[in-house]
Amino acid sequence: MVYLDYCANAPVEQQVLDRFYEVTKNIYANPNSIHKLGREAEDLLNKSADHIASYFNVTRDELIFTSGATESNNLAIKGICERYRNKGKHIIIGSMEHNSLVSSAMRMQEMGFEVELAPVDQDGRIDRDELEWMIRDDTILVAIAAVDSELGIRQDIEGLASFLKNYPQLYFHVDASQAIGKVDINYDDVDLITFTPHKFGGINGTGVLVKKKNIGLKIQMDGGKSTSIYRSGTPMLANVVACDVALDLAMTHQKEREVYVKKLQAKILEFLSSYEMIHINNTRYSDAYVVNFSVKSVRAEAFSEMLEQHEIYLSTKTSCCPTNAPSKIVFALTKDKKLASTSLRLSLSYMTTEEELDAFFKAFTICYKDIFENG
């Protein structure tokens, strides 16, 4: 079995799983409780939150723990729009964004907001000149993914954040779900940041929204006391502790893992480039963890199913998109519906081995020949 779908979900790191189990089994008091066990749970929660916050140069009061990136993106976009609607009703989002970000923006459009998509250049990066032209006096939010989920294209977040400081009426939200633990990005000038640890070895059902202190949000979930006034619910102690462990592992080993994975990616790109009916969709700004390619004239789902018969598992697009629809992200880059309908995403990890790549190459060759030479 060869798993090549790490952008959808990464296996839980053993250290993370061990710590999650330990806390769940032994520290079960509610951190909101005023007795000794509750205070001990609260102390551990605060310690873990402090450590997570340190990676973003913020305090734990600027962290909102959620159920995942989808909830975090919803809270960021809806919370900002509803809180600051008196300042304007114009939103700009990238044209290669995850469904949770797009759907949240579209929901605000139903409530009277105007949503525009910022175009990308030939390399998949936000066109700064176009973005500048789009910004208006009533623009209150720009929301962009640091790294997109299908092509792995890294946006110039530092440059965009610096540029957007010229527009004090708007807020800059970054979905960093595919970036944390993979690429170095300075988020100091970003107003809101989304990430989820299940992308880098953490526990599913956990998310974080980093919200800088000077920013308000319209509360989306009412209820009792939690770690933040902006998201009610019993604090999820074990999830937060596990998130801390996963984040620490990912950040500590980020550089060495990237070097290793980049070698694997180069090997895959060289292999695929030798096939006439393969089109590589990566650009020079794609990170080391993704190879996106189209098998010309073959529906992506069909080729994926052929590979699955050889126990090779990859995606046709981000896992949150409709199964048979063309990749909107590949289309936004290429403007080619055929490439978008035939694209596959192969995503890597430091856990990926040379032996697994060899198995993929063997299976790919068999499938390719069955279609183009034997069919």
- Judgement on whether residues 110 and 232 belong to the same structural domain of the protein: yes
Q: Is 372 domain-assigned?
A: no
- Judgement on whether residues 320 and 333 belong to the same structural domain of the protein: yes
Position 228 scores a pLDDT of 75
Residue 270: CA count within 13 A, CB half-sphere? 7
- Judgement on whether residues 48 and 188 belong to the same structural domain of the protein: yes
- Judgement on whether residues 56 and 75 belong to the same structural domain of the protein: yes
Q: Model-level pTM?
A: 0.94
Q: Across the chain, where does the E strand assignment appear?
A: 2-3, 63-66, 90-94, 114-118, 139-145, 171-175, 192-195, 207-211, 278-280, 290-295, 312-313, 343-347
- Judgement on whether residues 242 and 285 belong to the same structural domain of the protein: no
Q: Which residues contact 285 (CB under 8 A, 6 or more apart)?
A: 123, 124, 125, 153, 154
**Structural domain span for residue 56:** 14-252
Domain boundary, last residue among 201, 227, 252: 252
Residue among 239, 264, 303, 269 at smallest CA distance from 17: 239
Give the Cα separation of 101 and 94 in Å (integer).
Answer: 9
Position 375 scores a pLDDT of 59
The CATH number of residue 265's host domain is 3.90.1150.10
Position 20 scores a pLDDT of 98
Q: Is 371 domain-assigned?
A: no
Q: Is 4 domain-assigned?
A: no
Residue with tokens 């309908």: 341
Q: Are 180 and 200 in contact (CB under 8 A)?
A: yes
Q: Is 178 domain-assigned?
A: yes
Catalytic residue list contains 367 = no
Give the Cα separation of 105 and 279 in Å (integer).
Answer: 32
- Judgement on whether residues 156 and 39 belong to the same structural domain of the protein: yes
Residue with tokens 């990170």: 287
- Judgement on whether residues 281 and 339 belong to the same structural domain of the protein: yes
Number of domains in the chain: 2
- Judgement on whether residues 92 and 210 belong to the same structural domain of the protein: yes
- Judgement on whether residues 185 and 138 belong to the same structural domain of the protein: yes
Q: Is 370 domain-assigned?
A: no
Give the Cα separation of 17 and 243 in Å (integer).
Answer: 10
Domain boundary, last residue among 199, 218, 252: 252
- Judgement on whether residues 194 and 327 belong to the same structural domain of the protein: no
Q: Which two tokens stand for residue 229?
A: 């006034």
- Judgement on whether residues 171 and 229 belong to the same structural domain of the protein: yes
Q: Which of 81, 243, 320, 367 does the annotation list as catalytic?
A: 320
Q: Is 78 domain-assigned?
A: yes
Q: Is 9 domain-assigned?
A: no
Please give the chain's pLDDT, 375 residues, in tens.
999 999 999 999 999 999 999 999 999 999 989 999 999 999 999 999 999 999 999 999 999 999 999 999 999 999 999 999 999 999 999 998 989 989 999 999 999 999 999 999 999 999 999 999 999 999 999 999 999 999 999 999 999 999 999 999 999 999 999 999 999 999 999 999 999 999 999 999 999 999 999 899 987 777 766 777 778 788 899 999 999 999 999 999 999 999 999 999 999 999 999 999 999 999 999 999 999 999 998 999 999 999 999 999 999 965 454 556 789 899 989 999 999 999 999 999 999 999 999 999 999 999 999 999 875
- Judgement on whether residues 89 and 173 belong to the same structural domain of the protein: yes
The CATH number of residue 41's host domain is 3.40.640.10
Position 323 scores a pLDDT of 58
Q: Is 231 domain-assigned?
A: yes
Domain boundary, last residue among 235, 252, 269: 252
